[in-house]
Amino acid sequence: MDFTATSMPPSSSPPPGGRTSLETVDIVVLVVYFLLVLAVGFWSMWRTKRSTVDGYFLAGKNMTWWPVGASLFASNIGSGHFIGLAGSGAAAGIGAIAYEWNGMLMVLLLGWLFLPIYIASGVTTMPEYLQKRFGGRRTQLFITVLSLFIYIFTKISVDMYAGALFIQLALQWDIYLAVVLLLSVTALYTVAGGLAAVIYTDAVQTAIMLAGSLTLMGFSFVEVGGWNALMEGYGKAIPSVRVPNSTCGIPRHDSFHIFRDPVNSDLPWPGVIIGMSIPSMWYWCSDQVIVQRSLSAKTLTHAKGGSLLACYLKILPFFVIMLPGMISRILYTDDVACADPELCEQICGNPVGCSDTAYARLVMELLPTGLRGLMMAVMIAALMSSLTSIFNSASTIFTMDLWKYFRSHATEWELMLVGRAFVLVLVVVSVLWIPVVQASQGGQLFIYIQSISTYLQPPVSIVFLMGCFWKRTNEKGAFWGLTIGLLVGCIRMLLDFIYPAPLCYEEDDRPAVLKYVHYLYFSTMLSFLTLFVVVVISLATEKPKPEQISRLTWFTRFNTVVPKEQVTVEQGTKTLEEITTEMNEMEESNGKTRHRRKDSSSSVSSVQSQSKLMSALYWLCGMERRKKEDSNPVTPPEPERAICSLEEKPCLRHIVNVNLIICLSVAVFIIGYWG
């Protein structure tokens, strides 16, 4: 069919946010939402021992399957998804949903293959696993720093920008003012409550997101005229003003297919199968944000149940986010699908396109008073659930893997303070990165996230994959595979920033490696390059030591525990005599501390006058117990955790295995149907 510039009449509606804004009822709904979330956050604070590292960072390892699964889903589906996935649907059809359905398979891999290894190893963070598996410190520090960079570039700043964009369209606020206000509310219970508060509030936010997004989906389909109207109308949704003799503003002919042309399409099918799966494996199977939630489960069966719940919920974004984004293009073609840079600048302030306004436009145009407030709560819930998860996990790996490396005798008090303070650093750096995100990838926020991921994540995926499933992998192979892979990936990423993709009416004069090598193909080549380096160097150097294999790979996960005569600590393996010497030094230090307290008895009265205020502050930060324990300046050894057992009750194991088969069948069916 030959589409022309006049195929669709001009949109008669004003720019997003121009027709309506939130009214009193909407504000009341938002206030009720915030009160509910804060109530759940404070309730979880009462139930959790937040004054210990284990209680703060892993929720005491006492979570059941449903909050774990809800938190996995809420941590993944942030405001970047609502804005970016709907925007990609409006701009290029359903292709980007392949990332979501690929995640269905990967979260099951986490529960059944990777998680038993992590549980058997008894680790708290993913860099800690690499330190145990390979020995040494350089790989652990490498992954720690890299993870923090990835969180900033592809997670925190994108979610903040997406959430702030939505609020900007609804309330006409300055985008940076919106970011600061959102972060202020988000940080309150995250900093105070730890992982337990994050997981329980995630469960509440999941329910709110599903209720609101399903409501908007219903209104959208009613407005567009049903499923057939969507299928027919999308191909005709061409803006009235576009650049002549160009493809600008014309919907793709393969908009309703996931597997597209291997050479000329935006998402070539070989890249979708391989190049998309490797970064996805990093995110779902070895990223601290995701794995930390599974490690907080009380048993392996509960952790698997959480993966199953997340897998079932991952079916929904196609229907509640992507399809409404495509409907938005049909209803508001000239605005959402604008193809003229000057016009786009007037509509949404972004000359490269306004497709990222698709979801917000539906909310502000279709929903009646009250429901708009609910959808504002949904968007804020998506933002807050993702940010709280990332902040908690980023502070975990910074505190436990980086800070403790330089201060091996840091007290729990110090670790709690450092973990909370680091959140503020992440916030500042992420805000500074927002302008770069805003101008990237033709206005398609979701594609920006994934393209950056393909440059940084494949080497990490390969290192974790080989470490978990090939016993011969050693530290040298892992480190140099990671180093060389990331060097190549960073070169490609820098080239992408130096030579951005041309607009639809511009000639593509980028270097050949950018012009002819799609980022998904690059991800595939980068994965095989890293795999080659890891295998060759591992075979050419010494074998791993037995303690680097036992309970740290799939084939050795049931090995017996290390003998109690040797206690593994951060600096290596210490004998009982060395530990006894350290204990004596601790007691001597405690004696000096008590002596100093006696000398300072004259100031007791002034301290008592502030005791109530300080007690409240200590409780808010989850550190009140340190007043009684500060006589011990050394972090106590971690107790043996119940979750280190891989035992499962036969009946429950059969139930989760049956659900595994059902989930895999559903995933294969929907991918095949829309392929």
Q: What is the DSSP string of 90-109?
A: HHHGGGGHHHHHHHHHHHHH
The full DSSP string for 637-651 is: PPPPPGGG-----HH
What per-residue confidence (pLDDT) applies to 556?
92
Query: At what angle are helices 97-109 and 79-92 packed, to 10 degrees?
Result: 130
Cβ atoms 400, 132 nearer than 8 A: no
Q: Which of 363, 389, 388, 387 is nearest to 377 (CA)?
A: 363
Q: What is the mean pLDDT of residues 379-396?
A: 79
Question: Integer distance in angstroms from the first to the last C-alpha of the chain?
Answer: 22
Let me know: does 366 contact 220? Beta carbons within 8 Å: yes
State the pLDDT at residue 112. 95
Residue 498 CA from chain centroid, whole number? 26
What does the pLDDT read at residue 585?
Answer: 54
Averaged pLDDT score across all residues of the chain: 78
Q: How many residues does the chain have?
A: 675
Q: Which residues of 542-563 are buried (b: 16+ CB within 10 A; e: fewer)?
A: eebeeebbbbbbeeebeeeeee
Dmax (CA) of the chain: 90
Q: What is the CATH number of domain 56-134+156-238+294-405+412-454+642-675?
A: 1.20.1730.10
Across the range 653-666, mean pLDDT stands at: 94
- Of 465, 459, 503, 556, which is closest to residue 350 (Cα–Cα)? 503
Is the model's pLDDT at 315 over the cut of 90?
A: yes
Q: State pTM to two decimals.
A: 0.79
Neighbours of 502 (CB within 10 A): 13
pLDDT for 52 equals 61
The DSSP H or E segment spanning 590 is helix 576-599
CB under 8 A, 24+ apart: contacts of 11-15? 11/332, 11/333, 11/334, 11/335, 13/332, 13/335, 13/365, 15/335, 15/346, 15/347, 15/348
- pLDDT reading at 10 higher than 60: no
pLDDT for 544-570, tens place per residue?
A: 999 999 999 999 998 875 544 344 443
Can you tell me which residue has the tokens 């300080």? 614
Mutual angle of helices 175-224 and 227-234, in 10-degree steps? 110
CA distance 108 to 311: 7
* CA 150 – CA 493 distance, rounded (Å): 12
What is the residue extent of each domain of the chain?
A: 56-134+156-238+294-405+412-454+642-675
CB-CB neighbours of 662 under 10 Å: 13
Handedness of CA 148, 150, 153, 159 (dihedral sign): negative
Residue 311: pLDDT over 50? yes
Q: DSSP letter at 636?
A: P
Q: Give residue 549's pLDDT.
A: 93
pLDDT digits (tens, 9 = 90+) for 170-224: 666 666 777 777 777 776 666 666 677 778 888 888 888 888 899 999 999 999 9
Mean pLDDT of 27-47: 79
Cα Rg, the chain, nearest whole Å: 26
Q: How buried is residue 471: exposed, middle or buried, by Cβ count under 10 Å (0-12/13-18/19+)?
A: middle
More confident call, 563 vs 57 = 57
* Crossing angle of helices 126-134 and 475-498, rounded to 10°: 140
Distance of CA 173 to the CA centre of its chain: 26
